[in-house]
Amino acid sequence: MQLQTFFSPSVQHTLDVVGIFVFAISGALLAVRKNFDVFGIAVLAEVTALGGGVFRDLVIGAVPPAAFTDLGYFLTPLLAALVVFFLHPHVERIQAAVLVFDAAGLGLFCVTGTTKAYSYGLGVTASAALGLATAVGGGVLRDVLANEVPSLLRWDRDLYAVPAIVGATMVALCIHYAALTTFTSGLAAVTAFALRLLAMRFHWRAPRAWNRRSTVTEE
């Protein structure tokens, strides 16, 4: 089944670039906090912005990945790295706004990742899993390269993967029941976006193991 395109190519490209830019900002900011040099800042920006999409494309056989065939995708993280390199104190001050756009990128990428995976012949469950990977994969690679436990695995972080799982699952269910339209795909993206914002606002966190009795000191 070939899914229809819900946005014009120019609109879709613009949405992708915006999401890539915001994800790259988060990677570059972490590099500055880790005292990386300019090369390290650029690498972390690229990996954060493009890692999830590259992983998805390699799994589904969409090679070479879009990150390497579209110059705009590749250069956008470098622009974000340049902005952070020179203006990071100012960017830090608008961190709340960056997080809002990051949440929007999360919602968008979990939807586009799921639909692209399905259009390449994967089942709905595998497509949803790759939608999640598209949305959070870059952040995982960022944290690993920065020698940190990935944020989505830490109990003391606001929910991040769960909103993406919800959004990707909504898309997968819509595909399964032949109900995927511009409205329902947009609804899935908005739902993931809203859940992430609520998690940040109310500090929602995933539960830890039942009757946990560990004496290990938290980090």
pLDDT given at position 99: 84
pLDDT given at position 161: 93
Average pLDDT over residues 101-116: 90
Average pLDDT over residues 80-95: 86
Average pLDDT over residues 79-90: 91
pLDDT given at position 1: 46
pLDDT of residue 173 exceeding 90, the answer is yes
Question: Omega before 207 cis (within 30°)?
Answer: no
What distance, in Å, lies between the first and last C-alpha atoms of the chain?
47
Average pLDDT over residues 117-132: 95
Confidence of residue 65 (pLDDT cuts 50, 70, 90): very high
Confidence of residue 7 (pLDDT cuts 50, 70, 90): low
The answer to whether 109 and 135 have CB atoms below 8 angstroms apart is: yes
Domain limits of the chain? 9-202
Exposed (0-12), middle (13-18) or buried (19+): which is 141, by Cβ within 10 Å? buried
